[in-house]
Amino acid sequence: MEVVIKPAQETARLAADAIVALIDAKPDAVLGLATGSSPLGVYDELAKRHRAGEVSFAGVSAFLLDEYVGLAQEHPQRYRNVILTELVDRIDLDPARVHGPDGLAQDIPLACARYEQAIVDAGGVDLQLLGIGTDGHIGFNEPGSSLASRTRIKTLTGQTRVDNARFFDDDVDRVPHHCLTQGLATISAARHIVLLAQGGGKAEAVHQMVEGPVSAMWPASILQHHPHVSVLLDEGAAARLQLGDYYRQAFQAKPEWQGL
């Protein structure tokens, strides 16, 4: 894992640089998109670069990490709608090429299996953006998730529902109990993973992910097994890291041509 500790805006620029470089090299790249507040700076940066004519997403396709079960098509917090508003509507990415698990499917296991197949058929995810929950979840893989899991239905923890109540008028009762999420093995199949975290509320989860034992209790720790993970943190999210100074020195000394 590469850990980069910089102000949030700078980490957003670094992530956007990696995405633009990927699309330059591979105009039909497959992106993995995440909802939540952590990647919003990246989406702003991508929209800005698109407006400046620096990047086109016309050939790109995208897969979402997760989706709430049961939210109506038009519900603003349906993750597909969130990603359209936050990113897709601001760039030239064709909404028809943006795929997400179907939280309204009648046959949920079938919908999950089809989603897995769709990712494979697209050639796999080239670059996956991720946030991390305060309990160490990625996607909606809550503590206890199988490290080998694939897309499936999960029950959200009370903590995650409380964390996400801010998107539902601060009313935790309106946060769905269930979601469909790419599994930890699905996420791990992406070729490059770029995880962003900001603020002290994420510090313990980040420490466990990077420096703790690999354990289903901290699902993001599975990323220690991945050969190409970039962890982009602000000072708050990095506050609990044991090797913070080493990560800072390593990034400072890094040859620029390497990118993320």
Decide: 80 and 64 in contact? Cβ < 8 Å: yes
Q: Which of 2, 1, 3 is nearest to 237 (CA)?
A: 3
The smaller minimum CB distance to ligand GLP, of residues 5 and 55, is found at 5
Whether 225 is catalytic is: no
Q: Which residue is nearest to ligand GLP (CB)?
A: 131
Q: How far is the CB of 220 from ligand GLP (least distance, A)?
A: 9
Q: How far is the CB of 113 from ligand GLP (least distance, A)?
A: 21
Instruction: Spell out where 22-119 has E strands.
Output: 30-33, 61-64, 66-68, 98-99
Q: How many residues does the chain have?
A: 260
* Cα 102–Cα 15–Cα 237 angle in degrees, nearest 5: 90
**Radius of gyration of the chain from its Cα atoms, rounded to whole angstroms:** 17
The smaller minimum CB distance to ligand GLP, of residues 55 and 205, is found at 205
Whether 171 is catalytic is: no
The smaller minimum CB distance to ligand GLP, of residues 10 and 21, is found at 10
Angle formed by the axes of helices 8-25 and 40-51, nearest 10°? 50
Catalytic residue among 137, 163, 192, 207: 137
Q: How far is the CB of 138 from ligand GLP (least distance, A)?
A: 6
Q: How far is the CB of 182 from ligand GLP (least distance, A)?
A: 10
Query: What is the phi-psi region of residue 21: left when phi exceeds 0, alpha when psi lies from -120 to 50, beta otherwise?
Result: alpha
Whether 207 is catalytic is: no
Applying CB under 6 A, which residues contact ligand GLP? 34-38, 65-66, 131-133, 139-140, 160, 164
Whether 173 is catalytic is: no
The residues assigned a catalytic role are: 66, 135, 137, 142
